[in-house]
Structure 1
């Protein structure tokens, strides 16, 4: 426990130092310092690490809001990327940064929001919060949980983390291997419900949002969408527009600071790319209609690439696409492949995908493709573009894969509903 507490304080100190020159670190520190907590007589507490986990747990959050409209819902985030984008979500009565995991903070926070239950998505295991929930007999659920043998829970020195697991009332897991790992520790309060992300992306694909200017940019052509990209991805992807001039390309970088966006534009053929904000705001990019109804694109015929310079539209962008590349596979790991898969888009990604069940399963189905270099990227893109039968089969496989894996939300809610009846 001593080392855990020291580690928490050391982490805070490191982020504090970084906050003097890093925007995200500054938001992390100042957001916690400045927030004022409202008192609740009772609430349902949802915690998410970041934006991705929010979208993953969103089907449960929406179901709770719909089925129990009189219940107050409190949402917390660990990271600024989740809080800053979803701090005004109508799905919650209050949205906060999770205070640092200390004994006093955990007690004060839980006493303030008075949760009837707590729901954590995928991961985020904080000892003092879990312990305080346990001491106050507040049911704690992990949804879309996933475990791997290399995690600290399964190491000889992971006693404290194993104790955290004992504070959880029920685990809703993504796969059987996670269940087996917990069973090996003597933990049997588990259900393999699947991943709620499938429910989220499926619902999104059935009712996609229209995005201003995208249909005009596409203009009836085929569209390649590169989502959540990093510089290592973009070095390879930047070669594609020149190779496939009949296609349009949309790049949605993971980070949208001005210098990052400008760097990406400079990688692309000169004069061929424009920022999304400029595209929708500047009249010179608007498509004009001739007397016979045909499109006049004399002002924009040279534009083949659009670079998204905002956050929040990627999941709906895929509705316009034909092929998707998912970034992150040359770094810590790939981002969300399922958002594109739900629209039937074949997905391509880098080599670091092994931690992600859906990526491994898509490769096994030959509906997802991992590449390690420019040659492999060009090879699979060329096959998807030129072989119509292969493309059609791949698209059907990936669409069906997502549909067949929906249903986790219903299973989880049936259990939670029984708990709500006891409250």
Structure 2
């Protein structure tokens, strides 16, 4: 299995090299790793530096890492923070994140790369977020007796770790000093394969969204656009989501405002939006003023960075991705205490499963079901408010994962400092 793992890593790298000749994301993946170890060596002087290393696959995992990073940055100022990403989707968006001292791609997981990387960085503590389980890096960390934890992790019984032939992958998990999982099912799965250094830590994104609400920004243009009318906020939409929402909006007979935030802003999708809402009064945020926005029906957000604060203006939220790309962040709207709608593919997202079960969030299988359910919530304030209350309570009940991780980390770092002198 180790041979197959190493072979798979090499094949993956060669395929990325081929794709990089015509695919922008693959190109960024390759370009970001050129001379990477040399760059690290030039920038990090580990002899005089105590480093906390955080590794995230992409942007979603970064949002889980963020509350831990920022707490440790405040509470342990003598340590510096290295943040690495596997995917361009995370690195390219957060490469200028001001709290981290260094931000890099992670070199591909080979024995040579792992040994060189750790020799250069010499982290005092390592944090792997949610799904990252790299054999060579984790083995090398354990060999060097560098504490490493996984947090906000979640496991399912169909994963290789729990198959009869999954011994190699189970051994990877044994390299962690501790694994903080999100739920009891994950805890039981890991205990079932003999792991004992495991506990329920929860999901740090709950702490992050709490901070977002506390630090939310007010946008006067959006507030003026809303004009105290019933508002639907659509976040992180893709083409299938556009079709679902447009069908409802175009045939809706009652007064309504729509704040529409695409996941990606490109000419092709912008044209799709214009076409889908061609019979409505639509304005883009970049063109909106306090004078011209009030009488518009649809406000399209053609920038990034506003979405987490936009949900405060909604009576209902629709979050995109659950028809093809993968459901985006539903915790942000839920924190504001409004019901959340999304598509049918959500079973891999624990928070979505939980919120659907308690009737705070609602999955729709197609545009017709969304139109009907939206009308029900529009017409009945009582069920809408009750659903929003359930969302807000769910968030409140799950806050606190960051405290558990910080407590464990600071305790272990104190032991290391005591042992070293």
State the TM bucket, normalised to the shorter chain: over 0.9
Of 285, 290, 304, the residue aligned with 1:287 is 290
Q: Indicate conservation of the 8 Å contact 1:40/1:114, yes or no.
A: no
- 8 Å CA contact 1:245, 1:304 repeated in 2: no
Instruction: Specify the SS of the correspondent of 2:33.
Output: helix
Give, in whole Å, the separation in 2 of the partners of 1:264 and 1:402.
Answer: 32
Residues 213/111 of structure 1: CA separation in 2 closer, same or farther (3 Å cut): farther
Answer yes or no: is the 8 Å Cα contact 2:181–2:201 preserved in 1.
yes
Distance 1:19 1:304 in 2: 42
Distance 2:225 2:405 in 1: 41
Structure 1 spans left out of the alignment, 5+ residues: 280-285, 289-296
1:158 to 166, 175, 180: 166
Task: Give the 3 Å change call, closer, same or farther, for CA 20–309 of structure 1 in structure 2.
Answer: farther
Q: CA deviation at 1:96?
A: 0.4
3-state DSSP class of the match of 1:213?
Answer: helix
Give, in whole Å, the separation in 2 of the partners of 1:156 and 1:198. Answer: 35
Whether 2:119 is the aligned partner of 1:118: answer no
**Aligned with 1:63: secondary structure?**
helix
Match of 1:26 in 2: 27
The superposition leaves residues 382-414 of structure 1 with CA deviations (integer Å, 9 ceiling, x where unpaired) of: 111110111111111111111111011111211
Structure 2 residue 44 is the aligned partner of structure 1 residue 39 = yes
Q: Describe the SS at the equivalent of 1:153.
A: helix
Are 1:65 and 2:73 an aligned pair?
A: yes
Please, what TM-score do these two structures have when normalized by structure 1? 0.92
The CA distance in 2 between the partners of 1:34 and 1:108, in whole Å, is 12
Residue of structure 2 aligned with 1:184, choices 192, 199, 217:
192
Distance 1:241 1:52, change over 3 A: same
- Cα deviation, residue 324, structure 1: 0.7
Task: Provide the residue aligned with 2:255 in structure 1.
Answer: 246
- Secondary structure of the residue aligned to 1:324 is strand
Give the whole-Å Cα distance in 2 for the aligned partners of 1:40 and 1:58.
24
Per the normalisation by structure 2, the TM-score is 0.92
For 1:144 and 1:71, locate their aligned partners in 2 and report how far apart those are by CA, in whole Å: 22
1:405 equivalenced with 2:398 (yes/no): yes
* CA shift digits 1:99-123 (9 cap, x unpaired): 1111111111111111011001111
Pairwise mapping of residues 352-391 of structure 1 onto structure 2 (< 5 A)? 352-391=345-384
2:176 to 165, 168, 173: 168
The partner residue of 2:93 within 60, 71, 85 is 85
**Whole-Å Cα distance in 1 between the matches of residues 345 and 9 of structure 2?**
29
Instruction: Deviation per CA, 1:113-158: give whole Å up to 9, x if none.
Output: 1101100111111111111111111111001110000111112332
Partner of 1:291: none
**How far has the Cα of 1:67 moved from its partner?**
0.6
Using the TM superposition, give the Cα deviation of residue 34 of structure 1 relative to its aligned residue in structure 2, in angstroms.
Answer: 5.7
Deviation at 1:329, TM superposition (A): 1.2
Aligned match of 1:316 in 309, 314, 327? 309
Distance 1:2 1:227, change over 3 A: same
SS at match of 2:53: strand
- How many residue pairs match? The answer is 407
Does the C-alpha gap of structure 1 residues 261 and 17 become closer, same or farther in structure 2, counting only changes over 3 Å?
farther
Indicate the larger mover: 38-47 or 14-23: 14-23
Q: Which residue of 2 aligns with 1:293?
A: none
| Deviation (angstroms), 1:203 | 1.5
* Post-superposition offset of 1:308: 2.4
SS in 2 for 1:380: helix
**Aligned: 1:256 with 2:265:** yes
Asked whether the 8 Å contact 1:230–1:327 carries over to 2, the reply is yes
Judging changes above 3 Å, is the alpha-carbon distance between structure 1 residues 213 and 32 closer, same or farther for their aligned structure 2 residues? farther
